[in-house]
Amino acid sequence: MTYNKGDIVVVVDPNPFLDDRNYTDGLYFNNTEMSVFIGRKFIISSRRNKDTYILRYADKHDCLEAEGHKIEEWIWNEKWLMSASEFDFDELECCELFDVTYMVEG
């Protein structure tokens, strides 16, 4: 999917798209620095080329810059992103269902 400036996206788990050296289509994913952004919403700030983007924070309350994590310092592959409208933030993992039903049933 091609994104445009201003689109809201979520950073998804890149592992299915990474080779054995942590690259996707020649773009490196730094697990140590970039993993903190997985599951968070961002705005497309600019498009670098046909499938890479620069992101910015969508919500100042969800900003990690105080901890030294600046989203604008990284280039993001399109495969590592999903449209926020397609991402279900309330979706539960199957492994969590037992805990939820246990709490409900008491």
Answer yes or no: is 3 within a domain. no
Q: Is the dihedral of CA 41, 44, 48, 50 positive or negative?
A: positive
Is residue 2 in a domain? no
Residue 57 host element (H or E) = strand 52-57
* Tens of pLDDT, residues 51-103: 999 999 886 656 565 465 678 899 999 999 999 887 655 543 444 334 433 33
- Cα distance between residue 10 and residue 12, in whole Å: 6
Q: Is 12 inside a domain boundary?
A: yes
Total count of domains within the chain: 1
24 occurs within a structural domain: yes
In a domain? residue 47: yes
Asked if residue 35 belongs to a domain, the reply is yes
Alpha carbon 45 to its chain centroid, in Å, reads 14
The answer to whether the predicted template modeling score (pTM) of the entire model surpasses 0.85 is no
Query: Which domain, by its residues, includes 66?
Result: 8-105
DSSP run (H or E) holding 11: strand 8-11
The answer as to whether 27 is a domain residue is yes
What are 18-46's pLDDT values in tens digits? 999 999 999 999 999 999 899 988 999 99
